[in-house]
Amino acid sequence: MLTSSQKRDFTDNGYIVLPGFKSPAELSALKTRAEKIAAAHDFDACREVFSTASQRGPQADRIQDYFLGSANETRCFFEEDAFGADGELTQPLAQSINKIGHAMHDLDPVFSAFSHGDKLAGLAKDVGLHQPQIWQSMYIFKQARIGGKVDWHQDGGFFMTTPQSVTTFWFAVDDATLENGCLWVEPGGHKGKLRQQFVRDGRKTKLVDLDTTPWPDTTTATPVEVKAGTLVCFHGLLPHYSAPNTSDKARHAYTLHVTDGACDYAPDNWIQRSKEFPVRGFI
Ligand code: FE2
């Protein structure tokens, strides 16, 4: 489905923006389902605060089992600033969930329908994925006012393959703007090295530094402001980040992280699948 010029853009810049990839009806179905899952969240059973910082900080032990257990489940994570000093939610539950992860694409019929099909399979082929394998899905709420930032990172470090094959499919469920914390990318930055690897060792995980190249910042990077329905597809080595949502509306997005089954998938990647629950492609 990509033109030769679009394929060249992907190779040169490390990402491609495809407006109108998903219809309003598809977006609405996904959003409704995500909100239903969030509303049904068992708040008392898993009062876990999610933040990217917590993967490295003192909260790591507390959230570890809940996080690792989400690899092949459907679980909800809270915004970092969802709780007040008294430990109670500062906003209604439905406006306090950071994301749902990480296997809805295989477990939930609505998410599965959104995440599979000929159109996505064709695009995967065009960006060089010979045997696509979808390891992870995330529905990101980026809640109004408390939707936290996601620090600069490369997705390749979370799903190591040899050679590198990780590709991210990022769907805008709502319009993404500077004010509500759109993606920022470093065009061409995928030609650099992988800086960090997220490694699992039993019940422990760690972020290992591999390369000291500094992360870009907003003076050198490009914001990717897009309309709802747009698919941003990007290379696993492309540095990207998103700012906090300072607006008064949530900014929903949905992502799939995909590797090429023709490449070796590292045994210390945090998500692994069993024979009973095999990893699948887009068909
Ligand atoms: Fe990412």
Centre of ligand 1 to C-alpha 23, Å, is: 24
d(Cα 166, Cα 78) in Å, to the nearest integer?
Answer: 26
Centre of ligand 1 to C-alpha 153, Å, is: 6
Q: Left, alpha or beta for 123 (phi > 0: left; psi -120 to 50: alpha)? A: alpha
Sign of CA dihedral 81, 86, 91, 97: positive
Centre of ligand 1 to C-alpha 5, Å, is: 25
Torsions phi, psi for 70 (to 5 deg) = -85, -5
Q: Hey, what domains does the chain have and what are their CATH numbers?
A: 4-265 (2.60.120.620)
Centre of ligand 1 to C-alpha 241, Å, is: 7
Centre of ligand 1 to C-alpha 255, Å, is: 9
Q: Which of 195, 189, 205, 191 is closest to 68 using CA atoms?
A: 205
For the chain, the first-to-last Cα distance in angstroms comes to: 16
pLDDT at residue 193, as a whole number: 97
pLDDT at residue 93, as a whole number: 82
Centre of ligand 1 to C-alpha 43, Å, is: 26
pLDDT at residue 200, as a whole number: 95
Q: How many CB atoms lie within 10 A of CB 249?
A: 16
d(Cα 65, Cα 200) in Å, to the nearest integer?
Answer: 12
Q: 97-102 and 150-153: which strand pairing?
A: unpaired
| Angle formed at CA 117 by CA 111 and CA 119, multiple of 5 degrees | 120
Spatial CB neighbours of 209, under 8 Å, sequence gap ≥ 6: 195, 196
d(Cα 97, Cα 49) in Å, to the nearest integer?
Answer: 9
pLDDT digits (tens, 9 = 90+) for 118-167: 999 999 999 999 999 999 999 999 998 888 899 999 999 999 999 999 99
d(Cα 129, Cα 115) in Å, to the nearest integer?
Answer: 16
Within a 13 Å sphere around the CA of 165, how many CA atoms are in the beta-carbon half? 22
Centre of ligand 1 to C-alpha 86, Å, is: 32
Centre of ligand 1 to C-alpha 154, Å, is: 6
Q: Which of 97, 114, 196, 113 is closest to 152 using CA atoms?
A: 196
d(Cα 225, Cα 205) in Å, to the nearest integer?
Answer: 33
Q: Which residues of the chain have pLDDT under 70?
A: 44-62, 87
Q: Return the CA Rg of the chain.
A: 18
Q: Which of 121, 142, 140 is closest to 132 using CA atoms?
A: 121
Centre of ligand 1 to C-alpha 205, Å, is: 17
pLDDT digits (tens, 9 = 90+) for 31-58: 999 999 998 887 766 664 444 444 455 5
Spatial CB neighbours of 184, under 8 Å, sequence gap ≥ 6: 218, 221, 222, 223, 224, 240, 241, 242, 243
Preceding omega of 163 cis (within 30 degrees of 0): yes
Spatial CB neighbours of 52, under 8 Å, sequence gap ≥ 6: 148, 150, 151, 153
Q: Looking at the DSSP assignment, which residues form a beta bridge with residue 138?
A: 101, 255
Distance of CA 107 to the CA centre of its chain: 17
Centre of ligand 1 to C-alpha 14, Å, is: 13
pTM of the model: 0.93
Centre of ligand 1 to C-alpha 245, Å, is: 16
Question: Which of the 8 DSSP states describes residue 266?
Answer: P
pLDDT at residue 62, as a whole number: 65
d(Cα 79, Cα 71) in Å, to the nearest integer?
Answer: 19
The tokens describing 175, both together, are 């319009």
Centre of ligand 1 to C-alpha 16, Å, is: 15
